Structure 1
């Protein structure tokens, strides 16, 4: 290990990370290299507490269903329900079983207790109602948006017509549709009509913004916008599930990250007067470079939410990628970036990417991890990161 490499690294603290970032940030993305490893959400919790207490952050957004997150947010902001109920109904992807996520909600609720509404921390989900096995029915969001507008405007559709077009929810949620487009209802005549209705309802929400914001609670208008984005996004996603072309899976990944980007964009705009937001998802959803993986024996590439939001926010967005060294018997080779970083003296380290490359005596090779769920750092793109957070052993 060279002295230059050691000079590029600091022991992990909130101060060490933020010292590498612009003070004008509106959104800080902290990525994790794999799911299900508590070391990374625990590190996120530590960082978020620092950001709240010292940097003026008032919100966090994680890779979880944006609609389910309303339950968790109601608990942390207003004390609605119980912590157990918030964990059970406030997360997707199995993340409600994470002890670190439980501690996050507990701490946020304790922090908010007794504070005025404008100072309370908010909790968001950035993902759509999507799971590996398929996508949710658009019913919840479409009918919620319809109900909000029907109470205030004259609409040309009836609730009965929506129900007729939607049909049974199990038509939409069949797991078989993820792998066989013939099982998807996303391009039926009913689905096409629903996409037009969702588009028109979203346009009405925008066109009547002055009236709606003057006569309804801001939180109600916010939720209506969330449902508008989600209904349209789900209907696009179901249409892509019905596509039989070879690039079908590329489109699904791109649509999912587009939904994430639109949610992040809306969160940043909502939080603009209160402070910046911390986003926490997998590295591949936050990186600026095009994301890639192999699926079904072929390469799949798509632009991540981070790449999209970076194009929108410019230097008001920053991304810190995390990585780890040893996990059980999975030890990085010494000529990989993770292998080189494992020689650093601290268990958790913050590395400045702009000082990393000059410190390397040789170009690292990409790591091939034993665990296929771990996405290793790409040595060729580290200069596109604002910081690296390295955990030596998990």
Structure 2
């Protein structure tokens, strides 16, 4: 069997990934089975460099706050915010991102690549997650006020649904919105207050005005400025909708919250795809085409993942390559059992390889490996039942930490 499996593997190169696909996708999703591991991020960085140099890719988007990601994009495209330390601190929403040496090297390399190049050839960076954490959701202030400010500078005042002082009054204290207690106690949420309901109407009106004035706004500012305003608009409306459901007390609450986060991520990725081909990077679970599930209060919670939403819209222009690993010994994940998918791949001599997932599924036939069970909650093994639903795999034999 090991010999047969070896026939499905290739070197970890962009060209090998592309040969698995019917055409160059607008969104090439590279998943990872755990967060915060430099070895996996180094693989991502090298693939992105090759995609840039060989396949014309110009954007990378990662599972980080879409608003803080603008700090990184400004830096790599124009040098704005010349202190790289500050950019790394402010431009990523999770500590495992901004403290990561490979992420720092990615930003440094992108800035160096862009130096002296025309705008049309520069690399772009994006975060595509909402301003959300597992513990709370941010205030919509930043997105709402930025959208209002953009419109106020370009359209007649009487077209605006309100002035900035109205937004400030309705928003109130940002800490009330971001209160972690609201995640477990709907009564602590601002999401169904009179102020929040009015803000949802105003945000909808601002987004409608942005859409209605598109030709004027692009002409007077730039397509880039208009695109950024669209980001503010969908983030403001998405956050207000998310807060609304945080205040819900029905059994649908967590299903809606999970689905809304996936939709916010999908909307951001579809906007990234409008720029041209992009590599996008996040946890494997966000990119799968099948429904996502997790146990919640003794029952399964189900929602359509980001990859399912994007794939439904883009078809073959969306591709998903999952990453699998053998060992993660510093987290207690030792050599995989030989009857698992990771165990079969671990028998191969290569430290890293690209795997033709569909061909591997054909080789395995009806005899699928057993699902691997992780002893650590932070690592999610691949589900062999969905092997053929992946466009490819990247396998890393041993993930180490210096």
Shorter-chain TM-score: what band?
Answer: over 0.9
C-alpha deviation, 1:130, in angstroms: 0.7
Residue by residue, what CA displacement relative to the aligned partner does 1:60-111 show, whole Å, maximum 9, x if unpaired? 0000001001111111111112211110111002111111100100110111
In structure 1, C-alpha distance between the alignment counterparts of 2:298 and 2:54, rounded to whole Å: 47
C-alpha deviation, 1:242, in angstroms: 0.6
Is the CA contact 1:2–1:360 (under 8 Å) kept in the aligned structure 2?
A: no
Structure 2 partner of 1:7? 7
Matched, 1:130 2:135: no
Tell me the secondary structure at the aligned position of residue 233 of structure 2. Answer: helix
Residue by residue, what CA displacement relative to the aligned partner does 1:19-70 show, whole Å, maximum 9, x if unpaired? 2123331110000111111111111000000000000001100000010011
Structure 2 partner of 1:34? 34
Is the CA contact 1:2–1:359 (under 8 Å) kept in the aligned structure 2?
A: no
- Taking the TM superposition and a 5 Å limit, the aligned residue runs for 1:216-255 are 216-255=221-260
In structure 2, C-alpha distance between the alignment counterparts of 1:217 and 1:359, rounded to whole Å: 52
Is the CA contact 2:286–2:305 (under 8 Å) kept in the aligned structure 1?
A: yes
In structure 1, C-alpha distance between the alignment counterparts of 2:230 and 2:386, rounded to whole Å: 35
Structure 1 partner of 2:391? 386
* Structure 2 unmatched runs, 5+: none
TM-score normalised by structure 1 residue count: 0.96
C-alpha deviation, 1:296, in angstroms: 4.1
Aligned residue-pair number:
390
Structure 2 partner of 1:64? 64
In structure 2, C-alpha distance between the alignment counterparts of 1:318 and 1:358, rounded to whole Å: 19
- Taking the TM superposition and a 5 Å limit, the aligned residue runs for 1:349-388 are 349-360=353-364, 362-388=367-393
Structure 1 partner of 2:19? 19
Matched, 1:44 2:49: no
TM-score normalised by structure 2 residue count: 0.94
Matched, 1:89 2:94: no
RMSD: 1.2
Structure 2 partner of 1:105? 107
Tell me the secondary structure at the aligned position of residue 36 of structure 2. Answer: coil
Larger CA deviation: 292-301 vs 195-204: 292-301
C-alpha deviation, 1:261, in angstroms: 0.4
Tell me the secondary structure at the aligned position of residue 211 of structure 2. Answer: helix
Residue by residue, what CA displacement relative to the aligned partner does 1:141-168 show, whole Å, maximum 9, x if unpaired? 1011111112222313121111111111
Is the CA contact 2:2–2:347 (under 8 Å) kept in the aligned structure 1?
A: no
Matched, 1:335 2:330: no
In structure 2, C-alpha distance between the alignment counterparts of 1:29 and 1:182, rounded to whole Å: 38
Residue by residue, what CA displacement relative to the aligned partner does 1:171-212 show, whole Å, maximum 9, x if unpaired? 101010111111101011110111111111111111110111
Is the CA contact 1:68–1:90 (under 8 Å) kept in the aligned structure 2?
A: yes
